[in-house]
Amino acid sequence: MGMDKSVNVQYTRDANVTRTTRNEDDSCSSLCTPPSSTEPLEIILAKDFYFGFLSVDDCEEFLVQEGDFLVRCLPDPSNSQRLLWIIAVKDVKGKIQHIPVTRDDEDQYVLMKRKFPSLVELVHHYHTSKEIVVVSVPVVLRRTAAKPKWMLTDSSVTMFAQIGKGQGGSVWAGTFGETCQLGRRPVAIKYLHEDANPAQVASFEKEARIHRRLSHSSIVQFVAIVIDKYPVRLVTELCDNNLKIHLKKNASKLAQKDKIQICLDVSEGLEYLIGKGYVHRDIAARNCLMKQGRVRITDLGLAVRFANLKPTEVGPEKLPIKTTAPEGLICKVFSEKSDVWAFGVLMWEVFTGGAEPYEDLINRLDKRNWGNLLVANILAGYRMPIPLGTPKNVESVIKNCWQRNPVKRPTFHMVRKMLSNKSTKKWYQRLPMLKK
C-alpha cells in the first residue's frame, strides 16, 4: 500500500495460489466458531426469521410493512461465549424497533417479563399469539421478513488460501455452491479480523451494502454475503491480479492502446457508479483488479451516496492523500469531480507502468511530516510531470482532471467518450488546457 494513508485490503499476489489447510492460519482456523449457547445454534440458523449478524442500517431494506420482523444477533462484548439476540420489527408508525431479548440467571430467554427455555419458543409464542412486544408502541410480530437470494450460509462457502491482507481484514480465495465440488464457483471472500475497530466495521458493512446494489462489467461482481455466522463475509468474483501489480509486471509490454483500454474500463465503471449516486473516494490502481485482461473496480469502503449529483460533505474517515482532490483535502467535500481528480492520478499510474504517485516529491520532503507537506504542495499548484511517451490526447485529459477548480474538470461521460472515440483529437481540443 506504499505510503498512502488508506485502510483497505489489497490483493498481494496472483489469485492462482496453492491451496493451504485452514489450520495453517490462526485467523482462518478460528473463523466462524460460534459462541456457546444453551440452545443449539444450528436450530436457530435453520429458522426463516434468523438474519444472522445483519447490521442495524440494513434492517429497513427487509422490513417493509407494519409487523414485518426478523431476528439478528451481535457478539456480546461482556461475554465472548454469548450472543446478544435482537428482534427487529416495523411498528405502526413505520419505524424499526430493535428489541433486545435478555437472559436471566437460569439462561431463560426473557421478553415483556415472559420467560422461555429457547429463543425459538419465544419468537414462536409472540408470532402466533400476536401479543405486543413493546410497551411504548403497540407493535406485534406479524410476518417473517423474506430473505434475499444473496444471503448465503456458512456451509456453502469454503476458503482455501489467503490472497490479500490489510489493516483490519483479509481476502481469501475459495469456492461457493452445493456441498459437492462439481459446479462450485471460484470466489474471493473478504472478512474483518476480530480486532477490527468500529470505523473498519462500519466501512466493511457499507462496502457490502453498496456492492450488492451494483452490476457492471468494470466493477468487481458481487456474489453474496455470508451473514449467519461471525464474522460476516463479503463474497465476490475471484479476479486474476491487482492492477498495480499488473502494471509493474508488464510495464515494457503494454501497448498504448492497452493502457488506454485500462483507463477506459475504469472510466466506464466510475461513470456507472456516479449514475447510481455514489462517489468512490479512493480510486487508484491499488484498488482495481484484473479479470481476463479487463479492469474491475473494487474496495468501496470509502464510497458515499450523494443526492442529485451535488457535492457531499462526509465524516471523519481517513482519506488517501495522494488521490484526494483539493476540495476533499480542505473541506471534505466530494462529488463526481473529486473522483475525476483521482482518476487523473490513476491514468498517471497506468502510463508510468505502476509508479508510486508523488514518490519523487515525497523523497525530498521531511518524512516526519510528508503528508501535510504534500498537501501544501498540491494546494500551491504542484502537479506530477506527465509520463514520457503519453499520447497528447491522454495528457490533455490528465491535466484537465487536475484542474484546481472542480467545475473545470471533465465529467466521466466526457472522459469516456474522449478515450473511446477513434477520432480523439476533436475531443481533447474541446478541453481547456491546464494553465502552467
Set of cell numbers at residue 430: 474541446
Q: What are phi and psi of 367, to 5 degrees?
A: -60, -25
Beta-carbon count within 10 A of 37 CB:
17
Set of cell numbers at residue 394: 491522454
Point out which residues pair with 279 in neighbouring strands: 304
The enclosing H or E element of 120 equals helix 119-129
The DSSP line for 267-316 is HHHHHHHHHTTEE-S--SGGGEEEETTEEEE---TT-EE-STT--EE--S
The enclosing H or E element of 328 equals helix 326-331
Distance between CA atoms of residues 184 and 151, nearest Å: 17
Set of cell numbers at residue 68: 414485518
Helix ranges (H only) for 358-431 are 359-363, 370-379, 392-401, 412-420, 425-428
Nearest to 124 by CA among 59, 83, 65, 71: 71
Residue type, 368: R
332 is in an annotated binding site: no
Nearest to 133 by CA among 85, 97, 83: 97
Residue type, 22: R
Distance between CA atoms of residues 34 and 228, nearest Å: 10
Binding site members for ATP: 190
Known binding-site residues equal 190
